[in-house]
Structure 1
Amino acid sequence: PSERATLSSLEVARVCDRVLPPGTVNVVTGRGEDVGAAMTAHDGIDKLSLTGSHASGVATLESAAQTITPTSLELGGKSPNIVFPDADLEQAIEGVLVSIFFNSGQQCTAGSRLYLHEEIRDEFLERLRDAISDLTVGDPLGPTTDVGPMIDHTHQSTVREFVDDAVADGATLCAGGENDAVGDDLEGAPFVQPTVLTDVGDDRVGCEEVFGPVLSVFEWSDRDAVLQRANDTSYGLAAGVWTTDLGAAHEFAAELEAGTVWVNTYNDLFDPAPHGGYKESGTGRELAEEALEDYSQVKTVKVNLGGVPKMG
């Protein structure tokens, strides 16, 4: 596990210890440059799988190449939500909230780019601001909390830098953008308010993974142009399409360069369906039969029950 988030993995191992033979599940904690490097270079490991950043994925592939170890990667994303003018706005707003503010935006599938059709842009943004104002930022273990903190203060600073740079470059702060928490006992904790930016360019916050509760909003009018913009990224992990025209949704989804496309929903993973990315979002698939194939080797055995093949 990441050195920033080890406790959950250790708890999973403790649960596994109750039902699995000793040594079946092992957790090694430490920094990636130490523990991760040792594991990826070890010639006794038959399969590597990483969920992490693009930089970690590149380092893992480079190391695995030395031993030709099969590797699956689930890396970053800059996933778009495209809202068509006929969409159910209430449904789409709720989906957008889940897509970007679930886990405080610290998820690879975060829907951090929002493309609103010009006919519904203003109404959507007004209703989105109202919905965000109802969210509670606070203790992630609290029963009424909607948005928790960043993983640590270093990451909080990184997220705030994205927002500050975007505003300095001409973006408009539509909602949030400040450090925030609920309760005096949380003062100084690494919180960032749910943030919405409009008038965003296609660089930095508009194209790089922020990994925080920061939503960049773009306006569109032409179907083919917004498709091109949605695909104009080095990532391709997920996307959301919001429309009541399912025929148009299927056509659009087929052209999106993303491993998972949700229609009128988001972050709705389910076991029978594989999950993984296009382009720099990774290789291989998690979940479903495809994941089993990723962890399997194929062998051919032929038994001769007749004459032996002859030369000539």
Structure 2
Amino acid sequence: MTIKKMFIDGKWVHASSGQIRTIINPFNQEEIATVTEGDQSDAKAAIIAARKAFDQGDWSSTPATERSSIVHKIADLIERDQQKLAELESLDTGKTVEESREDMVDIAGVFRYYAEIGDKNGGEIISSPIPNSVSKVVHEPVGVCGQITPWNYPLLQASWKLAPALVTGNTLVMKPSEITPLTTIKMFELIEEAGVPAGVANLVLGAGHTVGAELSTNVDVDLISFTGGIETGKKIMQAASVNVKKLALELGGKNPNIVFADADFNTAVDQAMNAVFFHAGQICSAGTRLIVEESIHDEFVEALVERVNNIKLGNGFDKDTQMGPLISAEHLAKVEKYVETGKQEGAKLLTGGRRPKDPALQNGFFYLPTIFTNCTTDMHIIQYEAFAPIITVEKFQTEQEAINLANNSTYGLAGGVWTNDIVKAERCVAKMRMGTVWINEYNVYFPHAPWGGYKQSGIGRELGKLGLEEYTETKHILHNLKPEPINWFGD
């Protein structure tokens, strides 16, 4: 099997150490690729290339319209290779091809959005109180950007970082998750094909404790953008202080989904499932904390369990499959421990809570959709992210109690409210401490709207105009048109 390489300074290269890594399909543990495995020395080489391309190259000074044109070309290429990319993503992650295909549409949309707005950020003239002067504010690229992406949505999360960084004139070094690098490798082939100059976009494969650590600590990196777990995010934040890097951190969530008694019952049940069971619950915004008004609690849970038990697990390439496997054996073991903790805490397991018995699924990292009731906010399973197909159900009696429950978390990424009373809905979302809150909807995003969290869900925003601003520095320029001596210290 051909060893897939990384991309440094416009060249496809093997790791300096000669190390390799085997990539497996989580559906059946079959080997699907072998990739080169980089370390600190490879990360340093990529940083040097990115630094040189920024400081001595033309990319940052290239007219924004030209950079936007290249980013448009990348979107074109993604659309051209959409099916191939979707299949590769499903092999790598285990998710259904239908989900991956929708991801590719979104990814092309992200590149298209930033290409369309990237040349419209030319700054502004501001009123100057100084006579005979002109004052203006301009936005310039940050410099060399380190970008670390997660395994759950490899190419989608990469697009959120790549597109705004490129269109604003930065150079970058990207490190994808070491267990799901395949579509990111393919993306860099498209970046090369689109005509991005050598050294501008660099790809280093390898583990977080080697490549990621170098990106975080290296003084020639000006910004670090990381999507992943909260503990790793804290380490990156500390490491980045060595040269006070700009930080953009998206660190997950434990997201509430509030259902009032006056909501449309069947729609709320359906959407409660959609909020969690896509990609086996491995979604940072998954609405895993279901908070249901007491008067409909029992009926709602009964309907939910009935539907959840009909979810079809299987191969993501099977058109009948509704949910694929977890990402790895290691993650499966963590989920099993998480569920056992819930039982020990006194939560009531209504369905799931184990691996499936179907012989056809035994080689994969499958876990049954799981529902817990009798949950309280002091429980581990309420406060900590599982990243799994698990719903915990809490109940409430009053609107304020629902809000209090929703906000009782160290996270603040996303949440939902289901009610036909729009005034009540607006009251709730005004008090919910989260970066995104949906009313009668869940898990919808688009490139035009910012994404990020309150509290320990992270720092900064991706997507939208704010996602563009993350990759720029703001400079004020004052030009005195008629300079004269001040004579403050005499002639």
Q: TM-score if structure 2 supplies the norm length?
A: 0.61
Aligned twin of 2:251: 75
Shift of 1:45: 1.6
Aligned twin of 2:221: 45
**2: CA distance, partners of 1:141 / 1:181:** 20
Aligned twin of 2:426: 250
Aligned twin of 1:122: 298
Which of residues 196, 204, 210 in structure 1 aligns to 2:371?
Answer: 196
Q: Confirm or deny: 8 A CA contact 1:116 1:219 kept in the other structure.
A: yes
2:286 aligned with 1:110, yes or no?
yes
Gaps of 5+ in 2: 1-175
* Larger helix share, 1 or 2: 2
**Structure 1: which amino acid aligns with 2:374?**
D
Gaps of 5+ in 1: none
Which of residues 283, 289, 302 in structure 1 aligns to 2:465?
Answer: 289
State the SS of the aligned residue for 1:8: helix
State the SS of the aligned residue for 1:302: strand
**2: CA distance, partners of 1:289 / 1:308:** 40
State the SS of the aligned residue for 2:416: strand
**Structure 1: which amino acid aligns with 2:186?**
E
1:44-86 deviations in whole A, cap 9, x for unaligned?
A: 2222100000011111111111111101001120000000110
Aligned twin of 2:188: 13
Q: Confirm or deny: 8 A CA contact 1:137 1:181 kept in the other structure.
A: no
**1: CA distance, partners of 2:357 / 2:227:** 29
Aligned twin of 1:54: 230
Aligned twin of 2:202: 26
**2: CA distance, partners of 1:89 / 1:164:** 31
**2: CA distance, partners of 1:54 / 1:144:** 35
* Larger strand share, 1 or 2: 2
2:325 aligned with 1:149, yes or no?
yes
RMSD: 1.5
User: Considering only CA atoms, is the larger Rg found in Structure 1 or Structure 2?
Assistant: 2
Moved more, 286-295 or 19-28: 19-28
State the SS of the aligned residue for 2:371: strand
Aligned twin of 2:388: 212
Shift of 1:182: 5.5
Q: TM-score if structure 1 supplies the norm length?
A: 0.95
1:128-169 deviations in whole A, cap 9, x for unaligned?
A: 112112211111232221111111111101111111121122
Moved more, 16-25 or 72-81: 16-25
Which of residues 252, 261, 265 in structure 2 aligns to 1:89?
Answer: 265
Aligned twin of 2:42: none
**Structure 2: which amino acid aligns with 1:196?**
I
Q: Confirm or deny: 8 A CA contact 2:292 2:393 kept in the other structure.
A: yes
**2: CA distance, partners of 1:24 / 1:261:** 36
The alignment-based identity, stated in percent, is 36
**Structure 1: which amino acid aligns with 2:364?**
A
Aligned length: 311
2:341 aligned with 1:165, yes or no?
yes
**2: CA distance, partners of 1:194 / 1:12:** 32
Q: Confirm or deny: 8 A CA contact 1:139 1:182 kept in the other structure.
A: no
